[in-house]
Amino acid sequence: MAATQAGNAERHRHAHRDAHAKSHAILKGRMTVLDDLPPELAQGVFVPGAEYPVIARLSSAPGDIHSDDIPAPRGFALKIIGVPGDRLTPALGGANQDFLMVNFPVLAFGTVQKYKKMLALLEKNANAPDAFQKLVAAAARGAEDVVEALGGTPGATLQGLARDNANMLGETFHTQAAIRYGDFIAKLSLAPEGDVADLTGQQVEGGFSAMRDAVGAYFAKNGADYTLRAQLCTDPDAMPVEDAAVLWDPDQSPHRPVARLHFDAQDAYSPARQVHGDDHLAFNPWNGVAAHRPLGSIMRVRKAAYESSSAQRHRLNDLPRQEPQKLADLPD
């Protein structure tokens, strides 16, 4: 991964993230924890009634910059500013909690062993011509429809490849892997509410930066609301922690609201904000508090991977990593 990141930096003469390289918006907002949480949900940073400023980076999953004509998993990286609790990685500085989410509930490579097998395929597809990647996505969607028509459930790999170009503001995002949730274990998800939920399933078309343009056009005139939810692990056998490719059945353990997020109308991608969000900020699942420790083998490996990627990106660009202390640290 480090070699791929360095190779892309050489081509672009600028270093990007080795995953989620292309951003579409950098947002300022606020998170309010619900007042009436039961004890099992009032855990960690989710203190009933607490309010926190948040920064979010919206992105596409590949580790290189591709046209938005190519369907891809989308990311919603959330940074909650100024949270209490013992730090997981004190060397990162700050007092923030990062939650990294993707618009797909499971990882196709849910363990380190699966990831090793998948890595070559993922990098090969990411480096393929844009037209070929569009064909792969279209073929995967067709195969997914066939499986569902026959009464089956498509596998995580097929579902991951079968993404469409729906407006990402209407998508639901997931941590995919499990995290510590105070005295419990959970997965988190983020669901659109109100007007922004009307964008669910609406296709975005129009070129290289179509998703950025669609997101920017929406926030130029509108705010957006989301609900952050926790799905508690109630059966370790049916809801394994070590394999993030296994879907936790929402009928067995529903996604329960724990906080509301609100983003005012804003310039979501001004030049200063883009530079700061892409080049200075870092999002890392291990940047947080012990009450929300990432769990599972794939998350343990990510600790070194995220730190290595961030360090190399900032070193190649000769720019310092900056951990915000307040919303004003993110330029307008």
* pLDDT average, residue stretch 91-109: 92
Considering the entire predicted model, what is its pTM? 0.84
pLDDT in tens, 246-289: 999 999 999 999 999 999 999 999 999 999 999 999 999 999 99
| The pLDDT of residue 153 is above 60 | no
Mean pLDDT of 223-246: 96
Q: What is the pLDDT of residue 18?
A: 74
CATH of residue 169's domain is: 2.40.180.10
| Residue 332 in tokens | 């307008």
Does position 199 have pLDDT exceeding 80, yes or no?
yes
The candidate with the shortest Cα–Cα distance to 91, out of 313, 311, 272, is 311
What residue has token string 């012990």?
290
Instruction: Domain of residue 262: give its range.
Output: 2-329
Give the percent of the chain with pLDDT over 70: 80
pLDDT at 17: 80
Sorting pLDDT into bands at 50, 70 and 90, what band is 144?
very low
Q: Residue 231 has which token pair?
A: 């799905």
Give the closest residue to 285 by CA, choosing from 16, 13, 20: 20
Element (H or E) spanning 17, and its range? none
Beta bridge partners of 129: none
pLDDT of residue 151: 47
Report the distance separating Cα 52 and Cα 96, nearest Å.
10
CA distance 268 to 28: 8
The whole-angstrom separation of Cα 88 and Cα 90 is 6
Q: What is the domain count for the chain?
A: 1
Please give the span between the terminal C-alpha atoms of the chain, in angstroms, as a whole number.
32
Both tokens of 5, joined, read: 């990141």
Q: Can you give the pLDDT at residue 128?
A: 54
Q: Are 178 and 186 spatial neighbours (Cβ–Cβ below 8 Å)?
A: yes
Q: Give the span between the Cα atoms of 88 and 294, in whole angstroms.
A: 10
Compute φ and ψ for 195, nearest 5 degrees: -60, -35
> Taking a C-beta distance cutoff of 8 angstroms, is the pair 157, 136 a contact?
no
Half-sphere exposure of 73 (CA within 13 A, CB side): 28
Q: Is 189 exposed, middle or buried (0-12, 13-18, 19+ CB in 10 A)?
A: buried
According to DSSP, the residues that pair with 58 across neighbouring strands are 25, 76
Closest CA to 42 of 253, 241, 259, 290: 259
- Which of the residue ranges 114-118, 213-217, 280-284, 298-302 has the most confident prediction, judged by mean pLDDT? 213-217
C-alpha separations of 209 from 67, 148, 266, 268 in Å: 7, 32, 18, 14
Q: CA-to-CA distance for 100 and 108, rounded, in angstroms?
A: 16
CA distance linking residue 136 with residue 239, whole number of Å: 31
Q: Which sign, positive or negative, has the C-alpha torsion 212, 218, 224, 227?
A: negative
State residue 243's pLDDT score: 92
Q: What is the DSSP letter of 249?
A: P
pLDDT band at 145 (very low <50, low <70, confident <90, very high): very low
Name the E strands within 48-200. 51-60, 74-80, 97-102, 173-174, 179-181, 184-193
